[in-house]
Amino acid sequence: MNFDNTQNNNWSFIKKIGFKLVFTYLVLFVLLLFLAPLFEGFLRWFAGNILNWGADFDMQSTGSGDRSYDYVRFGLNIILAILITVIWSIVDAKRSSYNILFHWLRVIIRISLFLAMLFYGFAKIFHGQFGDPSLELLLQSVGEMSPMGLAWTFMGHSMAYNIFIGFTEVLGGVLLLYRKTLTIGSMIIIGVMANVVMMNLSYDVPVKLFSMHLVLMALVLLWPDKQRVINVFFKNEAVEKVIYYIPSMSTTLKRIITGAKGLVVILLTLIIAVQCFVRFELKEQLKSKSEFYGIWESQLFIKNGDTLKPLLSDSYRWRYLIVNYKKKAAVKKMNDSIDRYQFKFNANQKEIVFNRETDSIPQHFFYSFDNPELLKLNGVFDHDSLQIHFKRKKETNFRLINRKFHWVNESTYNY
């Protein structure tokens, strides 16, 4: 089966079947991404009666792209593509080629990949997809991390690496929009997204299905040029200029389409870039800028008049108070268990109010600062009188934060 960029009016039977299957599958994939939730009842029936997977699955967005619902949609996509291909082949058996449909399939894929690469690319450029390691994460041991958490920390630590990967994704997406750069754009996306697929598979990141489909789309775009790529990179042979198949249209219409495409590309790029930047700014604004921001390590903990020693087995004594975001705080106990709270303070009355996320009973403390690095809390917590003295643990005390870039390293610094 050999799709090419030139017009060929006599396709083989295998080529026509292959094209119909690829066309139907990818068009359905794009449509089902957006329309599948409208057919929830049918999807549940399909999952329970056809796939025999059961109909009890959640269709709400959770940030995962590998939910049971996503695999049901994937199964429906495959079956519908096969059925439509069979019916299409019977009804339209005499057609000799599908040059126009092949052209528009590539247009659909180019637009879809362009949008996906812009969203993912700018999310990385503006540090919105991964983000810096949180204060709570800095206290977490590597052994307690999930594989995805480890990968996210690795990616989020370096702003420069995020910008590099994000720029590469955006570049690949933009290059798809022009026929002369389509091949190199496809190759860039295959390289970048193949790495993403391997990270998703290796670190159990739940975007496996979607990332694999992005690679598949890029491969479909590159497929017509496969022989030319092989000749250039592996055989050191010259290749002729490609004569692209373009549907017939007037010169005026071509100019209008070219101008409109350029305008739409600029507008979409600006809109997506601004959207990602605004999300980054909103995320930054959620971080606490108050005097409480930081990691506070308890130096003294008095409960009902008794001083509790810092025993690592103690499930009550606070070890750290972590204030990373506005109106939120976390308490890490000596045994490493964590409780999370809604957090409010009144600077005039020198009062802090903690509310557990699981109940609405407020816990009140009065606070004072001996200096910006020393915090004292006094109050009643779960009917116990508590007096706690904290010392700020600076972020620069963490090796991950204070170790900067070095051109010269006399020895490895691998801890």
385 falls within a domain? yes
| Cβ count within 10 A of residue 281 | 12
Task: Identify the pLDDT of residue 282.
Answer: 79
Q: Are 82 and 1 in the same domain?
A: yes
Task: Name the phi and psi angles at 412, rounded to 5.
Answer: -70, 145
Q: Are 197 and 117 in the same domain?
A: yes
Q: Are 248 and 312 in the same domain?
A: no
413 falls within a domain? no
What is the residue range of 365's domain?
294-396
Across the strands, what pairs with 325?
A: 287
Q: Are 252 and 233 in the same domain?
A: yes
249 falls within a domain? yes
Q: Are 13 and 127 in the same domain?
A: no
Cα end-to-end distance, the chain, whole Å:
52
412 falls within a domain? no
9 falls within a domain? yes
Q: Are 232 and 298 in the same domain?
A: no
Q: Are 102 and 87 in the same domain?
A: no
| Cβ count within 10 A of residue 2 | 13
Which CATH number characterizes residue 375's domain? Answer: 2.40.128.270
404 falls within a domain? no
Decide which of 345 and 3 is more confident. 345
Q: How far is CA 387 from CA 231, 339, 380, in A?
A: 76, 18, 9
Q: Are 158 and 245 in the same domain?
A: yes
What residue type is assigned to position 199 of the chain?
M
| pTM of structure | 0.87
- pLDDT tens column, 160-214: 999 999 999 999 999 999 888 999 999 999 999 999 999 999 999 999 999 999 9
Q: Are 141 and 282 in the same domain?
A: yes
* Number of structural domains the chain divides into: 3
Task: Identify the pLDDT of residue 121.
Answer: 94
128 falls within a domain? yes
Q: Are 143 and 257 in the same domain?
A: yes
- pLDDT tens column, 358-405: 777 888 999 999 898 999 999 998 889 999 999 999 988 999 998 888
pLDDT at 157 > cutoff 60 = yes
What residue type is assigned to position 198 of the chain?
M
402 falls within a domain? no
Q: Are 229 and 322 in the same domain?
A: no
Domain termination residue (choose one: 244, 259, 286): 286
